[in-house]
Each structure stands twice: as C-alpha cells, then as structure tokens.
Structure 1
C-alpha cells in the first residue's frame, strides 16, 4: 500500500486539551490520506461481512441453500459457515464485522471532517484492531488446518483487517507517545518507513500457507 498515512491532526488545533474531542479546521494532507485509507478498507470489510451475514441467514433458513461464495470443495463458504469456528461467541462471526467496521468508518469520516479525537479513543481503536488481527489469524489457521476450506468473503475481511492493523498501529506508535524519541515513537517511524514491505511479506506468508495446505487441489486446476 503506497498511501502515506502520517497523521498529524492531533496537534494541529492550538488551545484544545489533548483529552477532549475538538475540531481542526486544517487537517493535513497526510491525515486525510490516513482517513481515506481507513474508510476505504473498513467499507470493503463491512460489505463482505454484511454479505456473509445474509448468506448465513439464508443457509439457516434453508440448509440446502448454496451460498454465492461456494465454488468448489476448497473455495466454499458452506463448509466454513457450518463449522463450530464460524460462531465462536454463539452467533455468526460476520455480525462482529457488521458491528465494528462502522465504528472504523465513522472514525475515518470524523477525521476527514476535521475531528480531533482523544487519546483514550485511539487506545480503544488500537485494542480493537489488535483483537481483530488476532481473531482473523485464528480463523486462518482454523480454515487451513481444521475446517479444510476457504471462504472467499472471509478472505476479503482478512485482506482488509491486516492493513487496517498496520496503519492504525503505525499512527499510534508515532503520535501517542509524548516523547518523540521514545522507543515506541521510533518503532512507529520504522513501521512507517517499511509499511509496504511489511504488508507484502505478511500477505505472501498467508498466501504461501494457503498454497502449501491445498497444493494437491491447486495443481488439479492446471
């Protein structure tokens, strides 16, 4: 991802307490880029989660229903949706996305409008994206080694959650510490400088795991 997401909006409004929600009439180009990236990624995730929810409800209503994302024995939402892992908390997992992605979209929209968000809000968002990235990796491992199938719409959610985690974490590491020379701030600047390689390597590792796990099936397609 080549978008520069330096977010200096927090310090732009003079005279506003750091822990208050204020308005910055002059959001920077970098803060707008960060906000646009957040809105775009979360919107794609919300759409995928919403479609998954509709498909799951249709499958509940009619067990013989074939979801639109079921293409073959490996790329099939049916096997994933009917697994115990698909309802970890007692309800369909996509509902988590339907509830949480709008919060991320609202955050980006608020930044585009010039909002200055409190420190506690950013810490809460950081906790949210961290839990999300841990959760999707548990789902990735479950899909590969327990369920033995891949849900295309689920993979869309995986694909947007990873960069969301990276850009939010980078932003918070750089801007939340009061000392710009602290180890956290330096780590944030390092992530900023290597954001694209980090994302490319991360995706390659996931794709590689998928390729190796289902190699016997993939080679039958050629």
Structure 2
C-alpha cells in the first residue's frame, strides 16, 4: 500500500501526455521536411507568416545540428518518457542509476530546446509552430523530472528533504508558466511581434 501511495501517478500520466504531444509535433515536422526535400518551393501548413513558420527553421543548419533533421531526434527520443510513464503506471520501480540516466536525457532535451529557442528568435527571427508545441511539453517535463529525482531519492538527500521535494510537485505548473513568460519576453526583444502574430491568427 505504501509503494502505491508513493508511486508518482501524476508524473507518469504527464510523461505519457507529453510524449504523445511531442512525438506528434516531431512527426509533423518530419512530414514538412520530406515535403521540402521533394519540392523546395512547397507550401507548408506551418508557414503562417514571415515570423510564424517552420520552413526557414527546417532549411537552416540549426535544423540539422547533428547531420540529420532535428525532428528525427523527437521521433525516437519521445519513446523513452512514454515507456517510463507506462511502466510507472504498471507498478515498475527503477533503480537510482536508471533515474539518473533518464534525468540526464531529459536535461539534455531541455538544454537543446533552450539553444534552439535562442537560435530561432535571434538568428532566424522565426517562431516555428511545431517547435513551439515541443517547447510546451519539454519544459514542464524537465521541471517535473528534476522534482521527481529529488523526491524519489536519486539525489542523496535526507528523508525529510525528499518529503519536501514531493510537496514541490504542485509548483511545477507555475514554474513552467514563468518559463513560458520568459520565452514570450525573449520573442518580443528579438523583434518578433508575438502579440501581433497571435492577434492576427485569432482574427484569421
């Protein structure tokens, strides 16, 4: 009964939701990449305006940092949190080394998208819709995973500190909202009129 009570069900459910959303965004970007390879002048559904588009991002060197299109990283990488989320719901318990590696992978994804955000805003001056959807799930996943690593004893802290870390889980949404606010501010300072673009999209 104690093991069930301590099982992070909410975290597991979020991992599954984030994985599905993130994988879908990566899949859409992959389709768009195939479309540009077949016809460089093809009209992509994600190209809404000069600022809101993914075509420029996909064609840039930043879109293939490791020698292949970045979306392929998402297609494969999102499988890990999906499997972990399902396994937790099934009652699996992972050793400390596993959580350490998983946390390292999530941290790598977070650092990578932070770099991509900077490149998109300040080098390419665009906001990629599917990339933005990826940001929306990677950032909360990072905060939730860090909280979970402290709460489940991956980091060598006292039992009392672990209990405190468990209670911090309710603050993950607020931390994510603050991070999104920072991204919003960065978009404005980079010259992307994000407010104007949102209003234009709403008005059709």
Same fold by TM-score greater than 0.5? yes
**Per-residue deviation at 1:96?**
0.5
List aligned pairs for 1:201-212, cutoff 5 A: 201-212=178-189
Q: How does 1:87-102 map to 2 (within 5 A)?
A: 87-102=64-79
Post-superposition shift, 1:192? Answer: 2.8
Structure 2 unaligned residues grouped into runs of 5+: none
CA–CA distance in 2 between the matches of 1:165 and 1:140? 16
- Deviations along 1:9-67, whole A, 9 cap, x unmatched? 9x72xxxxxxxxxxxxxx33862221111100111001100111111011111111121
Structure 1 segment 133-148 matched on structure 2, within 5 A: 133-148=110-125
Can you give the 5+ residue segments of structure 1 that lack an aligned partner in the other structure?
1-8, 13-26
Aligned to 2:150: 173
Q: CA RMSD in A?
A: 2.4
Q: Which residue of 2 aligns with 1:22?
A: none
Paired residue secondary structure (2:8) = helix
The secondary structure found in structure 2 opposite 1:66 is coil
After superposition, the C-alpha distances for 1:128-186 in whole angstroms (9 at most, x for unaligned) are 01000000000000001001111100110111000000111101112124542587x47
Larger Rg: 1
* 2:139 corresponds to 1:155: no
Would the alpha carbon gap of residues 55 and 197 (structure 1) be closer, same or farther in structure 2, given more than 3 Å must change? same
Per the TM alignment, residue 114 of structure 1 is displaced from its structure 2 partner at its CA by 1.2
Q: Whose helix fraction is larger, Structure 1's or Structure 2's?
A: 2
Equivalent position of 2:99 in the other structure: 122
